[in-house]
Structure 1
Amino acid sequence: MNYSKKLLLYISGVTLVLGACTKDFQEINTTPGLPVKADIPPLVNGVIKTLFLKGQEQAAIHNEYYYPVTQLGAVSTLSSGYLVQNGALDVWTDYYSSLQDLNLIQDKINAYSGDKTEMNNVQAVAYILRAYKTLRMTDQFGDIPYFQAARSYTGNTSLYRPKYDSQKSIYDSVLTQLVWASKNINTAASPTTAAGKPYATIGSSETFFNNNMLKWQKFGNSLLLRHAMQIVEKDPATATPILQYALSGIPLIEEGEDVGMWPANLNNYVLNDSRFWSFTSHKAMRMSNTCWNQMADGTAPAQIFDPRVYIFFETNQAGNWAPYVLGSGVTDISNPYQDKRDADITLKDNTPFSAFNYYLVRDIHYQPELFMTAAEVHFLKAEAFARGLGLVKDMGQAAVEYKAGITSSVNFWYMIAHTTNVQNDNWAAVAPANPTPAQMDALFNNAKVAFTGTDDQLLNKIYAQEWLSFFREPWLAYNLWRRTGRTPRIGNPDKYANFNRLQYPLRESIDNMDNYKTQSDLMGGNSTTVKVWWMK
């Protein structure tokens, strides 16, 4: 497979799809005085199209590091040949390209000479996209160029090589913008200002939420909850009032509103195959014994108590459940992710260990690239109740949210299995039936899951189930581990010890030499052992 050519075709295809939608952007023209009438919508959609995960990002960062670091997965070989720096360069380049578009959007909003209220919804969308992209970026790298970055289009030569900004200052700015978006977004069908003028709208070509301002508001509010919780230990003065606001009853993501790049919501757009490529090319991803031990009491089928096992993983070539034991040093270079399995699903390349479910990594037709789920919101609420963060401590309500989070995660993944159609094999036709009430009772009553024990033990169970719910969002499991240090672990293999951040790409030391050196000296070196600002 020539992945580079496929990626190029994919980018070109998306560009054509987005670039051909100008007639659908005319709604924005209804607001007189927009700086340039039809340019904000394609810029917004230009940012949205960067939300797709990149191939190297998934293979070199997620599979090679985030899965084994968090122990959600295991790597069955000493070296896959993938360098984390290659994935970091993908993420870095992608972010600054989208930041330029975000800056251009902001310039045009700032230049509007009419009633600024007319631009509130456009501004809110821009702030929410900026927040998602920027917080994900800084959470992975730490301090980054931000306030002066991606502004070379202005012609101001002093901005060609931007200085690095502290992660705290970036968080302060972006969270302030998210609060503004939450309070100023207008969710009415056809909002107007006090003077009766219509709000500017991005138009019907906004395919992420189809211009549904309530969904944008819920996403932004849920991001507030996620990131305020992320910094509450480090900066309670900033985080606490935001947590109080986020938990005050404002709209948050609910069941069936899981946010991501859903092909069905993109005019049934067929995703590029970077997800599948990252597995078949990397080939060494296996089920870890840490993850298995949170879902089963042994390797016999009757000892499985978490029904998500059947969605996340598959048996080995011999038909047995066989987790890879972390730290064992055993090497398995078989490749159970080859596309020959499209013709015969049983061809697992004689792997002795359980791999990730082939259907799960193969699908490009339905399964979304997730950003935030209803399950995560439940677990964040459970933690808030359990710790008394942003509201009064209440272990009873923590239990309610904890159970709701597990239920939401189980239901979500079974819905995916029953709806997804991979290229040549219909997963829905062979997926296990939805868990019965008896199966769910077995899950909730298992000693590893049951909401019993000391307050400290209960908090560990909340973290363990949130960690499991992030199975296909390993960067969030990585954040949770770095924030709490309390996600399930069995030992800590040397390769992954103190892997606390992504390194700045080498090109920064050339393209932005002076500022890179200043930042590197400040941190004591551009090392993965340096902790990001909010890390425990």
Structure 2
Amino acid sequence: MKLNQKIIYGMLVFWTITGSLACKKGFEEINRPYNEAGVETQTVAGLFNGLAKSVTDEDNTLYISLFYSSTNQQAVQNKITPYLNYSSSFWNKYYPSLKNYRSLLKRITQEANPAEFDNVKHMATILIASKTLHMLDYYGSIPYTQAGLGDTGIEFYRPVYDKEADIYKSVLADLKTAVNGINSAGGQTSIGASESFLNSDFDAWKKFGNSLRLRYAVRLYNKEQALASEIINDIIGGNQLLPNNQDVAKLEKSNFGFWPGSVSPGISTERQWYTFRETSVSNIRMSKNVWNKMSSSDAPSGAGIYDPRCFIFFQTNNADQWVPQLQNGSESEGGEPYKNDGSPSRRPIGSDPGNKFASFNFFTIYDQIYFPYLIITEADVHFLKAEIYQRGMGVGKNTSLAKTEYEAGITSSVNFWYAYANNSKAWLIKPIPPTALQMTALLSNPAVLYNGGNDNDALTKIATQAWLATMFQPAEAWSIVRRTGLTPKDPSFNPTYRVNKLPYPNEESVNNNANWKNATGGADQNAQALNKVYWMP
């Protein structure tokens, strides 16, 4: 297996930032990953850029081995989900970033005038908040308040696992402070090109932070209604900045995540290309479950397709037909829809007889430079607002506004994916965006048409469309599935496994045993996966 170029680059960046490990008299192993190294000699700009480069949690192998199957988003060939092989990947990426963040805050205090770095501090806080909130979605309780502090004392070598509710409250409070603290007034130090995430667009930073706050207010509403309502009222009632009316030429300013061309110009995200093309790893195809929400018939010509995103997400089979696969993967597939020679074109129609089912669009998989790893999008925010208005969460119930936001979410998602494809150099054949009449047909299709007078139908459609919009955010789709219970399910798919959360890495039972045992009761990884995260019903 060829080692991922992005991983290599990330390792180089990390070691450049953190330096070599200091000797701790044999404690190096038990202290990892919470105490990676000292960074006292690094610059504020260097530490910030290192954090920005590591902001997303993408791991396509885990997406394929767990999230796509658990969410009923894609048909899978693998009958046994080998997610335990990859369940520690997010954990191992998070703690070096947390250490980096804490070191950045310390470094700022050492500046002659720390107040001049307030914007840097607030932007970094938004970045680490995003990663921390994702960690809670994945694992539930995690070491947090004592993590990343190992170089300040041996008492932090084995950090405690904090309660989920406590971390949520702390992080959401930090987010509010950060959003309100960012300002464009003079007197702030510019870190120039090192601010590669949003290029010092302070309105975009506020939108990013507020979007995260809104997402987790909705996620926590049934458990922390007072807190969630306060956040919703603060953002929506206070008319605070949120992404809206995205600029198709600057998608990253309203759709937040890792955009390789912006954060790391010229860096190849080979992991996606490798994972999706390698049949021993993936073999995923367009599922019947998704197809049923994008086409009104099974016509292999595609005559029934009413959702134009279908042409961006997927491609036809070897016979140039739209044929979905059952979610359970029971129908055999032996094709290889992605060429392995790195050339910028799909296998010619008719050259791959084993390829019987529609697969992910070649260009979305081949694009190693512009394809984004998204955290939260403008469409996501519209769907959150649709649910808020439909349920009356922290604001008065308003089904008319719910419909407006629901339709804005669908429109934003469609516009985003067509703009992405047309902006990307990997897409040699540029797709033609849908017309106004085609968008009207989509929104008025019975499977999509909004009916705010029927709560169950309205909330089911919001969840379904939010689920479709997260086609390339499968970890977020997993959260939507676990929280709402309203997303589509393929009746043919009845997995024997159940995963409500990721289990902790086995190393935790050795390196941090007492705290690990308090968190798990000593349960093995399969048993841990049955436990629910805090916000699950």
Do the two structures share a fold, i.e. TM-score over 0.5? yes
Using the TM superposition, give the Cα deviation of residue 436 of structure 1 relative to its aligned residue in structure 2, in angstroms.
1.5
**1:352 match:** 356
SS at match of 2:136: helix
**1:461 match:** 461
- Separation in structure 2 between the aligned mates of residue 420 and residue 259 of structure 1, nearest angstrom: 17
Aligned residue runs from structure 1 range 368-407, under 5 A = 368-407=372-411
- Separation in structure 1 between the aligned mates of residue 521 and residue 16 of structure 2, nearest angstrom: 45
The answer to whether 1:478 aligns with 2:467 is no
- Separation in structure 2 between the aligned mates of residue 496 and residue 70 of structure 1, nearest angstrom: 14
SS at match of 2:257: strand
**1:94 match:** 93
Aligned residue runs from structure 1 range 318-337, under 5 A = 318-327=319-328, 329-337=330-338
**More deviation in 317-326 or 221-230?**
317-326
Residues 226, 516 of structure 1: alpha-carbon distance in 2 compared, 3 angstrom cutoff? same
Query: CA offsets, 1:287-323, max 9 Å, x none?
Result: 1111111100112222111011111111111111111
SS at match of 1:4: coil
**1:266 match:** 263
Using the TM superposition, give the Cα deviation of residue 486 of structure 1 relative to its aligned residue in structure 2, in angstroms.
0.9
Using the TM superposition, give the Cα deviation of residue 349 of structure 1 relative to its aligned residue in structure 2, in angstroms.
5.9
**1:76 match:** 77
Aligned residue runs from structure 1 range 209-358, under 5 A = 209-247=198-236, 248-254=238-244, 255-256=246-247, 257-266=254-263, 268-281=265-278, 282-300=281-299, 301-327=302-328, 329-340=330-341, 342=344, 345-346=347-348, 347-348=351-352, 350-358=354-362
Aligned residue runs from structure 1 range 18-29, under 5 A = none
Using the TM superposition, give the Cα deviation of residue 261 of structure 1 relative to its aligned residue in structure 2, in angstroms.
1.9
- Separation in structure 1 between the aligned mates of residue 344 and residue 110 of structure 2, nearest angstrom: 53
Residues 8, 418 of structure 1: alpha-carbon distance in 2 compared, 3 angstrom cutoff? closer
User: Which residue of the other structure, out of 49, 52, 66, is the alignment partner of 2:53?
Assistant: 49
Query: Does the 8 A contact of 1:65 with 1:496 survive in 2?
Result: no
Query: Does the 8 A contact of 1:204 with 1:211 survive in 2?
Result: no
Using the TM superposition, give the Cα deviation of residue 470 of structure 1 relative to its aligned residue in structure 2, in angstroms.
0.4
- Separation in structure 1 between the aligned mates of residue 340 and residue 353 of structure 2, nearest angstrom: 11
Query: Does the 8 A contact of 1:131 with 1:174 survive in 2?
Result: yes
User: Alignment RMSD, CA only?
Assistant: 2.5
**1:148 match:** 146
**1:521 match:** 521
Q: Which residue identity lines up with residue 75 of structure 1 in the other structure?
A: V
SS at match of 1:260: strand
**More deviation in 524-533 or 219-228?**
524-533
Query: Does the 8 A contact of 1:88 with 1:505 survive in 2?
Result: yes
Query: CA offsets, 1:2-30, max 9 Å, x none?
Result: 422635543367569999xxxxxxxxxxx
Residues 348, 97 of structure 1: alpha-carbon distance in 2 compared, 3 angstrom cutoff? farther
**2:176 match:** 179
- Separation in structure 1 between the aligned mates of residue 101 and residue 118 of structure 2, nearest angstrom: 15
Query: Does the 8 A contact of 2:498 with 2:529 survive in 1?
Result: yes
Residues 58, 120 of structure 1: alpha-carbon distance in 2 compared, 3 angstrom cutoff? same
Query: CA offsets, 1:193-229, max 9 Å, x none?
Result: xxxxx22343332111112222211111111011111
Using the TM superposition, give the Cα deviation of residue 437 of structure 1 relative to its aligned residue in structure 2, in angstroms.
1.8
Q: Which residue identity lines up with residue 90 of structure 1 in the other structure?
A: S
Aligned residue runs from structure 1 range 414-425, under 5 A = 414-422=418-426
**2:28 match:** none
Q: Which residue identity lines up with residue 484 of structure 2 in the other structure?
A: T
Using the TM superposition, give the Cα deviation of residue 110 of structure 1 relative to its aligned residue in structure 2, in angstroms.
4.9
Count of aligned pairs between the two proteins: 500
Residues 416, 507 of structure 1: alpha-carbon distance in 2 compared, 3 angstrom cutoff? same
In structure 1, the gaps of 5 or more residues are: 20-34, 192-197
Using the TM superposition, give the Cα deviation of residue 345 of structure 1 relative to its aligned residue in structure 2, in angstroms.
3.1
SS at match of 2:359: coil
- Separation in structure 2 between the aligned mates of residue 489 and residue 204 of structure 1, nearest angstrom: 45
User: Which residue of the other structure, out of 123, 127, 141, is the alignment partner of 2:121?
Assistant: 123
Using the TM superposition, give the Cα deviation of residue 105 of structure 1 relative to its aligned residue in structure 2, in angstroms.
1.6
Query: Does the 8 A contact of 2:4 with 2:270 survive in 1?
Result: no
Q: Which residue identity lines up with residue 253 of structure 1 in the other structure?
A: P
Query: Does the 8 A contact of 1:58 with 1:87 survive in 2?
Result: no
SS at match of 1:371: strand
Query: Does the 8 A contact of 1:283 with 1:336 survive in 2?
Result: no
- Separation in structure 1 between the aligned mates of residue 40 and residue 92 of structure 2, nearest angstrom: 27
- Separation in structure 1 between the aligned mates of residue 162 and residue 492 of structure 2, nearest angstrom: 32
Query: Does the 8 A contact of 1:316 with 1:350 survive in 2?
Result: no
Using the TM superposition, give the Cα deviation of residue 343 of structure 1 relative to its aligned residue in structure 2, in angstroms.
5.5
Query: Does the 8 A contact of 2:138 with 2:501 survive in 1?
Result: yes
Query: CA offsets, 1:52-111, max 9 Å, x none?
Result: 555xx211x2111111111111212324xx732332222111101111111112223455
Query: CA offsets, 1:353-409, max 9 Å, x none?
Result: 111111111101222211111111111111111111121111111111111111110
Using the TM superposition, give the Cα deviation of residue 534 of structure 1 relative to its aligned residue in structure 2, in angstroms.
0.7
**1:105 match:** 104
Using the TM superposition, give the Cα deviation of residue 416 of structure 1 relative to its aligned residue in structure 2, in angstroms.
1.4
**1:450 match:** 449
User: Which residue of the other structure, out of 356, 364, 369, is the alignment partner of 2:368?
Assistant: 364
Residues 335, 506 of structure 1: alpha-carbon distance in 2 compared, 3 angstrom cutoff? farther
Residues 113, 123 of structure 1: alpha-carbon distance in 2 compared, 3 angstrom cutoff? same
Residues 458, 342 of structure 1: alpha-carbon distance in 2 compared, 3 angstrom cutoff? same
- Separation in structure 1 between the aligned mates of residue 232 and residue 158 of structure 2, nearest angstrom: 36
Q: Which residue identity lines up with residue 75 of structure 2 in the other structure?
A: A
- Separation in structure 2 between the aligned mates of residue 51 and residue 333 of structure 1, nearest angstrom: 36
SS at match of 1:495: coil
- Separation in structure 1 between the aligned mates of residue 70 and residue 314 of structure 2, nearest angstrom: 19
- Separation in structure 2 between the aligned mates of residue 307 and residue 497 of structure 1, nearest angstrom: 34
Q: Which residue identity lines up with residue 347 of structure 2 in the other structure?
A: I
Q: Which residue identity lines up with residue 404 of structure 1 in the other structure?
A: A
Using the TM superposition, give the Cα deviation of residue 497 of structure 1 relative to its aligned residue in structure 2, in angstroms.
4.9
**More deviation in 327-336 or 200-209?**
327-336
Query: Does the 8 A contact of 2:139 with 2:503 survive in 1?
Result: yes
Residues 169, 267 of structure 1: alpha-carbon distance in 2 compared, 3 angstrom cutoff? closer
The structure with the greater share of residues assigned to helix is: 1
Residues 530, 100 of structure 1: alpha-carbon distance in 2 compared, 3 angstrom cutoff? same
The answer to whether 1:163 aligns with 2:153 is no
Query: Does the 8 A contact of 2:467 with 2:477 survive in 1?
Result: yes
Using the TM superposition, give the Cα deviation of residue 242 of structure 1 relative to its aligned residue in structure 2, in angstroms.
0.8
Q: Which residue identity lines up with residue 242 of structure 1 in the other structure?
A: I
Residues 440, 486 of structure 1: alpha-carbon distance in 2 compared, 3 angstrom cutoff? same
Q: Which residue identity lines up with residue 124 of structure 1 in the other structure?
A: H
Using the TM superposition, give the Cα deviation of residue 418 of structure 1 relative to its aligned residue in structure 2, in angstroms.
1.4
**More deviation in 83-92 or 470-479?**
83-92
Using the TM superposition, give the Cα deviation of residue 348 of structure 1 relative to its aligned residue in structure 2, in angstroms.
4.6
The answer to whether 1:534 aligns with 2:535 is yes
**2:27 match:** none
**1:29 match:** none
Residues 357, 18 of structure 1: alpha-carbon distance in 2 compared, 3 angstrom cutoff? farther
Residues 140, 12 of structure 1: alpha-carbon distance in 2 compared, 3 angstrom cutoff? closer
Q: Which residue identity lines up with residue 173 of structure 1 in the other structure?
A: S
Query: Does the 8 A contact of 1:336 with 1:349 survive in 2?
Result: no
Q: Which residue identity lines up with residue 240 of structure 1 in the other structure?
A: S
SS at match of 1:475: helix
